[in-house]
């Protein structure tokens, strides 16, 4: 029988008192707090700023050996309290990202850990939870990123609990093969990294109340690959009921470069297996899978030095094997979620699921930064052999032809005439921004907010003119909003007063979404900025211009996005 709100509140208050009593002093004088979860006790650090931090809590078994290329499994319980107090002593900071040189791998396969940040002491009622999914193109990154994603400020200043989790990257997280699909209980392949995220969200449902959180108020938020992942969870049957709101930052629900059709993912998967010296033609099926699970980690990563070898190395090997096409962003961003048709993986392209109304109808914030494409342009010579940086009038044609057919390339260059830009680099950056990010967010907002879905959606573009060196070079580049969101000034990026005001606007809107399921405070306008963020609709196309002062604007990228809507519908054959 369900308990009443009053009884639940009383039980929660008792839990809070017990947690306070459970706080102890360690020998160096630093205060700690112990919490009991379903696999044992974890010891967190009590900070001087009114927070508790728990680092490197295992949410799954190490995905190594027989568990490599399998869905995540429960971790083994631990009999004695686990020390989770110090991020600097963590040995499990990142999943494997790169083979730098000669088998020197950045990261460790034993990487499925998460962090929890809470206010301290806790209030008498459960707090909303924010679940952070880091970006990095499914190739790099981790849940802490040397403190860049430290959640103590949001917990201390905003009254939320923040959880951040690792997930498998590159081939280890997204290798798609029918041999692996056959042995999966849900017939999924190429989505182990997404399954890790789902597994961590399930951990939150089971355990977050012990930290003072409300499992019925979980907001997922992520940037770049984390933003793509947010849309995956919104569209995934496996994630249903695990969150109540979502924030997609610089993400997409349909960009072909980040969501891989099964046939293409499998084709590339076999080439990766060949590179790892696991050849299916010379091995039995069982031997082929066993080989993939036994080779060194470095064998499953594309060596960084091969990025610059032109026709040598991996590129030459693939070409000689007769592979018709590498992933469009190879070798830098070669993997992503696979549309495998599985209910446990990705049954449909997320945007197609949204079109069919088969998605979690939860309130959403989604948007982009003003200069999303700027940091991608310098990689053009690596991705498209023969192009140059800075781009020339001929190399921008080659770059566009890498992504589009001849007819579309011609239309794109006509839509973005060089006369509108200072140089070809800025021209390409704007094209990539609109194609990869801005118009994709608007496209998803159109469908979600319209009948019969009628989902509350809040669209934005971040345009704040920050004053640091990287902003002078790249403008409001991809991920430039994150220091303001996490309220994270550093030695290299000290905050001025205006920066603190911008941080206040951004962090308040995001945490309001967790608290009230809208970016505005419960009473209407935000108390700090007196800015009211209007809900999106597909008539006026309102969006928040997030700068100082923030304001409402309308019809973001208008006819430009209508053009890209046609391009993407043709690429996926969906309308």
| CATH assignment of 5-260, among 3.40.50.300, 3.40.50.1820, 3.30.530.20, 3.40.50.720 | 3.40.50.1820
- For residue 89, what pLDDT band results from cuts at 50, 70 and 90? low
CA nearest 132: which of 97, 156, 167, 162? 162
Read off the pLDDT of residues 364-399 as tens digits, 9 standing for 90 and up.
999 999 999 999 999 999 988 888 999 999 999 999
Mean pLDDT for all residues in the chain = 88
363-572: which CATH architecture? Answer: 3-Layer(aba) Sandwich (3.40)
Pull the structure tokens for residue 467. 């004053």
* Residue 448: pLDDT over 60: yes
Pick the catalytic residue: 93, 164, 224, 252? 224
Is residue 530 part of the annotated active site? The answer reads no
- Residue 45 has φ and ψ, to the nearest 5°, of -95, 135
Q: Is the pLDDT of residue 9 over 90?
A: no
**Intervals of CATH 3.40.50.1820 along the chain:** 5-260, 363-572
Q: Is 394 a catalytic residue?
A: no
Please tell me the predicted confidence (pLDDT) of residue 11.
Answer: 36
| Per-residue H/E/C for 410-469 | HHHHHHCCHHHCCCHHHHHHHHHHHHHHHHHHHHHHHHHHCCCCCCCEEEEEECCCCCCH
Confidence of residue 104 (pLDDT cuts 50, 70, 90): confident
329, two tokens:
């962003």
pLDDT digits (tens, 9 = 90+) for 318-361: 444 444 457 888 888 899 999 999 999 999 999 999 999 999 99
Determine the Cα–Cα distance for residues 234 and 252; give it in Å rounded to an integer.
12
Give residue-wise pLDDT tens across range 454-466: 999 999 999 999 9
Identify the pLDDT of residue 256: 82
Kindly state the helix (H) or strand (E) to which residue 44 belongs, with its residue range.
strand 40-46
Say yes or no to pLDDT of 102 above 80.
Answer: no
Residue 15: the pLDDT is 37
As given in the structure block, the two tokens for residue 391 are 């781009």
Query: What is the rounded distance in angstroms from the CA atom of residue 183 to the CA atom of residue 207?
Result: 30
102 vs 52: which has the higher pLDDT = 52
CB-based contacts of 363, cutoff 8 Å, min separation 6: 244, 245, 246, 455, 456, 457, 458, 513, 517, 518
pLDDT in tens, 524-545: 555 445 689 999 999 999 999 9
Among 18-32, 37-51, 337-351, whose mean pLDDT is lowest? 18-32
pLDDT in tens, 276-330: 999 999 999 999 999 999 999 999 988 776 666 543 444 444 444 444 457 888 8
pLDDT at 328: 87
CA–CA dist 543, 294 (Å, integer): 50
520/530 Cα distance (integer angstroms) = 9
The predicted structure's pLDDT at residue 569: 81
Residue 268 confidence (pLDDT): 93
Residue 524 Ramachandran class (φ > 0 left, ψ -120 to 50 alpha, else beta) = left
CA distance 44 to 65: 30
Contact yes or no for 101/304 (Cβ under 8 A): yes
CA distance linking residue 30 with residue 47, whole number of Å: 8
Question: How far is residue 506's CA from residue 22's CA, in Å, rounded to a whole number?
Answer: 35
Residues 173-228: tens digit of each pLDDT: 999 999 999 999 999 999 999 999 999 999 999 999 999 999 999 999 999 999 99
Q: What is the pLDDT of residue 570?
A: 78
> For 114-151, what is each residue's pLDDT tens digit?
999 999 999 999 999 999 999 999 999 998 888 889 99
pLDDT of 412 over the 60 cut: yes
Per the residue annotation, which of 372, 424, 481, 487 is the catalytic one? 372
Average pLDDT over residues 39-50: 95
């Amino acid at each position: 029988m369900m308990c009443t709100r009053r009884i639940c509140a009383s039980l929660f208050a008792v839990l809070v008192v017990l947690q306070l009593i459970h706080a102890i002093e360690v020998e160096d004088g630093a205060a700690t707090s112990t919490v009991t979860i379903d696999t044992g006790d974890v010891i967190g650090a009590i900070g001087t700023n009114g927070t508790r931090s728990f680092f490197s809590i295992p949410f799954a078994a190490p995905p190594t050996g027989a568990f490599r290329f399998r869905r995540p499994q429960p971790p083994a319980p631990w009999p004695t309290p686990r020390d989770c107090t110090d991020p600097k002593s963590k040995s499990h900071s990142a999943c494997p990202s790169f083979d730098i040189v000669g088998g020197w791998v950045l990261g460790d396969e034993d990487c499925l850990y998460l962090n929890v940040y809470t206010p301290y002491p806790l209030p008498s009622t459960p707090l909303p939870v924010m679940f952070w999914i880091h970006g990095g193109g499914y190739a790099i990154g981790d849940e802490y990123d040397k403190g860049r994603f430290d959640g103590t400020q949001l917990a201390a200043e905003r009254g939320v609990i923040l959880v951040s989790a690792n997930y498998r990257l590159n081939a280890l997280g997204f290798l798609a093969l029918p041999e692996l699909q056959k042995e999966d209980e849900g017939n999924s392949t190429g989505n182990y990294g997404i399954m890790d995220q789902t597994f961590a969200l399930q951990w939150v449902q089971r355990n977050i109340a012990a930290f003072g959180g409300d499992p019925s108020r979980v907001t997922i938020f992520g940037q770049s690959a984390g933003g793509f992942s947010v849309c995956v969870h919104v569209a995934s049957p496996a994630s249903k009921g695990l969150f109540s709101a979502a924030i997609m930052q610089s993400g997409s629900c349909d960009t072909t470069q980040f969501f891989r059709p099964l046939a293409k993912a499998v084709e590339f998967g076999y080439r990766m297996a060949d590179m790892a010296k696991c050849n299916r033609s010379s091995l039995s099926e069982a031997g082929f899978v066993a080989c993939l699970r036994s080779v060194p980690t470095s064998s499953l990563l594309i060596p960084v030095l091969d990025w610059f070898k032109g026709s040598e190395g991996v590129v030459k090997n693939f070409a000689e094997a007769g592979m018709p096409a590498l992933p469009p962003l190879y070798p830098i961003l070669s993997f992503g979620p696979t549309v495998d048709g599985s209910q446990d993986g990705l049954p449909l392209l997320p945007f197609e699921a949204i079109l069919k109304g088969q998605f979690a109808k939860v309130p959403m914030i989604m948007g982009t930064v003003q200069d999303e494409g700027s940091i991608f342009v310098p990689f053009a010579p690596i991705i498209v052999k023969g192009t140059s940086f800075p781009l020339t009038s001929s190399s921008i044609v080659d770059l566009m032809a890498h992504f589009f057919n001849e007819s579309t390339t011609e239309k794109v260059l006509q839509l973005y005439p060089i006369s509108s830009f200072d140089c070809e680099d800025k021209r390409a950056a704007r094209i990539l921004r609109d194609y990869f990010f801005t118009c994709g967010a608007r496209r998803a907002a159109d469908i979600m907010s319209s009948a019969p879905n009628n989902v509350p959606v809040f669209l934005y573009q971040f345009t704040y003119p920050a004053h640091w060196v990287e902003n002078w070079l790249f403008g409001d580049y991809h991920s430039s909003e994150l220091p303001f969101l996490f309220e994270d000034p550093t030695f290299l990026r000290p905050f001025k007063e205006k920066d603190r005001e911008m941080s206040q606007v951004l962090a308040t809107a995001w945490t309001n979404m967790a608290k009230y399921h809208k970016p505005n405070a419960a009473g209407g306008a935000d108390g700090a900025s007196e800015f009211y963020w209007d809900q999106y609709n597909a008539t006026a196309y309102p969006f928040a211009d997030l700068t100082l002062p923030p304001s409402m604007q309308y019809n973001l990228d208008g006819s430009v996005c209508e053009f890209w809507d046609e391009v993407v519908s043709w690429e996926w054959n969906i309308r």
